[in-house]
């Protein structure tokens, strides 16, 4: 196992941070590393809002579901899918009667994937520098208010947040599905995953029992059943359409 793979295999979410600020030079390096991620057609359809203002982080911690570490982390990065910048930049070369497809489903996918790829590059860079990170999907809980708070334009939306800072204590590492559950050879084998998934149920049951000192031991398949039957952020479709996405 080489050093890069070893680094990747050590990933864990960090939710307890030292208050020491992340130097701007480090943050720029982290984001620059994110920019080197693959991007569809070189569109680079993402932007990052680095939030360091304590009052603003406090507001965001409430909007993300009262997650305290959004407030206590030294810097909170909001990763946005951004088709506003390429659209505005291209206006000089677009004929007034030309169809523009920034509002298409494919363009939305491109921007969302671009943001995710860049963020993961940045996460790896941050961890290699000794920082800890935690992704915050709760940024979409009250996404309209977050967008207003951060001044996001049309055709831009916050995909997720990311806490960044020096960890103050080690975090546990959640086990992942066996490779056999996600790796298929030549054709998708829907039935072949059941054995590895059953194995993972046992792994997660042991992990949760240990992590919670016996208070919880829910198998992964039951957790997935609860997740799939729970209405979650159903406001997102209307929000995205109002922001100019997913029109066709």
Q: Which CATH architecture fits 3-172+231-242?
A: 3-Layer(aba) Sandwich (3.40)
Residues in contact with 213: Cβ distance below 8 Å, sequence separation at least 6, in sequence order: none
Check: CB of residue 210 under 8 Å from CB of residue 175: no
**Closest-CA residue to 50 (of 84, 68, 26):** 26
- What's the pLDDT at 142? 98
DSSP-based three-state secondary structure for 98 = coil
Task: Tokens 């992964």: give the residue.
Answer: 220
Q: How confident is the model at residue 171 (pLDDT cuts 50, 70, 90)?
A: confident
pLDDT of residue 170: 76
Is residue 77's pLDDT more than 90? Answer: yes
- Whether residue 124 is predicted with pLDDT greater than 90 in this model: the reply is yes
Q: C-alpha 62: how far from its chain's center?
A: 18
Judge contact between 79 and 48, C-beta under 8 A: yes
Largest CA distance in the chain: 65
In the structure encoding, which two tokens stand for residue 82, read together? 């951004």
pLDDT digit string, tens, across residues 44-66:
999 999 999 999 999 999 999 99
Q: What's the half-sphere exposure (Cβ side, CA atoms, 13 Å) at 41?
A: 8
* pLDDT value at residue 169: 82
User: According to the model, what pLDDT value does residue 104 have?
Assistant: 98
pTM across the whole model: 0.96
User: In which residue are the tokens 């939306």 written?
Assistant: 157
DSSP 117-159: HHHHHHHHHHHHTT-EEEEEGGGGTTHHHHHHHHT--TTEEEE
Assigned token pair, 212: 């919670």
Decide if pLDDT at 101 tops 90.
yes
Which tokens sit at 161?
Answer: 């947040």
Mean pLDDT of 12-29: 97
């Amino acid at each position: 196992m080489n050093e890069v793979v070893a680094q990747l295999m050590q990933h864990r979410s960090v939710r307890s941070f030292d208050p020491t600020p992340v130097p701007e030079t480090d943050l720029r390096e982290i984001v620059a590393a994110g920019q080197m991620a693959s991007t569809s057609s070189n569109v680079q359809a993402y932007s990052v809002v680095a939030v360091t203002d304590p009052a603003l982080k406090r507001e965001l911690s409430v909007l993300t579901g009262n997650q305290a570490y959004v407030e206590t982390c030294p810097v909170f990065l909001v990763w946005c899918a951004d088709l506003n910048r390429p659209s505005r930049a291209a206006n000089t070369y677009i004929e007034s009667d030309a169809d523009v497809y920034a509002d298409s489903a494919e363009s939305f996918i491109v921007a969302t994937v671009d943001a995710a790829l860049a963020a993961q590059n940045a996460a790896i860079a941050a961890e290699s520098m000794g920082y800890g990170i935690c992704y915050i999907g709760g940024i979409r809980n009250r996404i309209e208010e977050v967008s207003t708070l951060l001044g996001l334009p049309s055709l831009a939306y916050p995909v997720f947040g990311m806490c960044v800072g020096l960890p103050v204590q080690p975090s546990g590492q959640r086990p992942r599905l066996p490779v056999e559950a996600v790796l298929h050879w030549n054709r998708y084998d829907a039935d072949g995953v059941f054995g590895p998934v059953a194995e993972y149920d046992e792994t997660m049951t042991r992990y949760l029992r240990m992590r919670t000192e016996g208070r919880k031991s829910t198998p992964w398949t039951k957790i997935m059943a609860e997740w799939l039957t729970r209405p979650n952020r159903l406001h997102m479709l209307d929000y995205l359409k109002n922001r100019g996405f997913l029109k066709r």
